[in-house]
Amino acid sequence: MQDNILVIGACGQLGTELVEALRNIYGDAHVIASDVRQSPDEVFKQGPFELLDIMDKQALETVLQKHKPTQVYHLAALLSATAEAKPKLGWSLNMDGLFHVLDAAVDFKIGKVYWPSSIAVFGPHTPMNHTPQNCVMDPNTIYGISKLAGERYCEYYFNKRGVDVRSLRYPGLIGYKSAPGGGTTDYAVSIYHDALTTGEHSCFLGPDTELPMLYMPDALKATLDIMHAPADQIKIRSSYNLAGMSFDPKAITASIQKFIPDFKTTYAPDHRQAIADSWPNSIDDSEARADWGWQPAYDLDAMTKDMLMNLAPRYGKSLSL
């Protein structure tokens, strides 16, 4: 049977790239992008697009009746810093959106559901280094609390309602094709743009704030790999730990300076410092590696080179990389 895939929250940082990757695999007509807003990005002109507010259950059901998707990727969420600024909206969007999708998966017999979790499920009492899959989880942000509750709901719907739901705890995602919005890890995206424009980055985290990160091509690969793996290989139905690399603002600055020696970072930590401090430094993802063969390709310098190479022409720069 030909798969039809619905991507909810398609115009975000991950969705934009995932829609492109899915259209390359399944064909433009079989990947339905949806979001509360229309994006000018070219990829959305190449196949079906539905305006959809995930808080509106009826509207979701109308889209499901129309396109009869066999898989749903539900990416719509408020990220950490935005959800702290708008806690009620953060909680209701992140939770109600997931309830609507999981209930619809039962009612419409959707074959597979993908829902992203995050390193934000961990908290101040979590072991900070090589954080294991199962450990103390005491998130203290609305975003983290919603993701941890969401993980429990996913596992519950798998066990009790038979929904084949799969999930990854993403580290900070870094890519050049689409802009991030509202995350604590997002300095690691803007720093590359600053390096190619002003030559200076003012960092909202301190120099030694180490966080787990992942380059977008690896994030896409992990997402597609877990969705394509046979169901019996997916042994964790809450969400898998996932790691690529870990670095602090000092280290990413040094990595950029290998290519742009005059680049400078200054430090002006703000309210996001406390969020970052409550998250792990590094993640143990051995279960993802063992169960469905996860293996990242990019380290910090390989990512820096690829980011700068792809962003430089946008700013009329040529770098010898």
Query: Which 294-313 positions form the footprint of ligand SER (CB under 6 A)?
Result: none
Closest C-alpha to 206, from 269, 294, 270: 269
Paired tokens of 204:
């909202």
Minimum CB distance to ligand SER, residue 58 (Å)? 29
Residues assigned a catalytic role = 143
- Our finding on whether 80 is near ligand SER (CB under 6 A) is yes
Compute the C-alpha angle 221/172/310, nearest 5°: 65
- Our finding on whether 9 is near ligand SER (CB under 6 A) is no
Please tell me the distance from the alpha carbon of residue 53 to that of residue 199, in angstroms, as a whole number: 39
Q: Which stretch binds ligand SER (CB under 6 A): 2-10, 89-97, 118-126, 148-156?
A: 118-126
Cβ proximity to ligand SER: between 143 and 240 the closer is: 143
- Our finding on whether 172 is near ligand SER (CB under 6 A) is yes
Q: How many helices (H) and strands (E) does the chain have?
A: 11, 14
Minimum CB distance to ligand SER, residue 297 (Å)? 20
Cβ proximity to ligand SER: between 84 and 194 the closer is: 84
Q: Which residues pair with 241 in a beta bridge?
A: 169
Please tell me the distance from the alpha carbon of residue 89 to that of residue 102, in angstroms, as a whole number: 19
Minimum CB distance to ligand SER, residue 245 (Å)? 14
Size, binding site for ligand SER by CB under 6 A = 11
- Our finding on whether 170 is near ligand SER (CB under 6 A) is yes
The answer to whether residues 119 and 170 touch, using CB atoms and an 8 Å cutoff, is yes
Compute the C-alpha angle 46/33/52, nearest 5°: 135
Residue from 15, 97, 183, 249 binding ligand SER (CB under 6 A): 183
DSSP state of 1: -
Q: What is the DSSP string of 189-215?
A: HHHHHHHHTTSEEEESS-TT--EEEEE
- Our finding on whether 79 is near ligand SER (CB under 6 A) is yes
Across the chain, the runs of DSSP E, i.e. the strands, are 5-8, 31-35, 49-51, 71-74, 112-114, 117-118, 165-166, 168-170, 172-174, 200-203, 211-215, 240-241, 245-247, 264-267
Q: Which stretch binds ligand SER (CB under 6 A): 27-35, 47-55, 114-122, 193-201?
A: 114-122
- Our finding on whether 176 is near ligand SER (CB under 6 A) is no
Residue from 185, 241, 265, 304 binding ligand SER (CB under 6 A): 185
Minimum CB distance to ligand SER, residue 11 (Å)? 17
Cβ proximity to ligand SER: between 4 and 118 the closer is: 118
Query: Which 186-215 positions form the footprint of ligand SER (CB under 6 A)?
Result: none
- Our finding on whether 239 is near ligand SER (CB under 6 A) is no
- Our finding on whether 184 is near ligand SER (CB under 6 A) is yes
Please tell me the distance from the alpha carbon of residue 210 to that of residue 249, in angstroms, as a whole number: 7
Minimum CB distance to ligand SER, residue 265 (Å)? 18
Q: Supply φ then ψ for residue 132, to 5 degrees.
A: -75, 165
* Interface residues toward ligand SER, by CB under 6 A: 79-80, 118-120, 143, 170, 172, 183-185
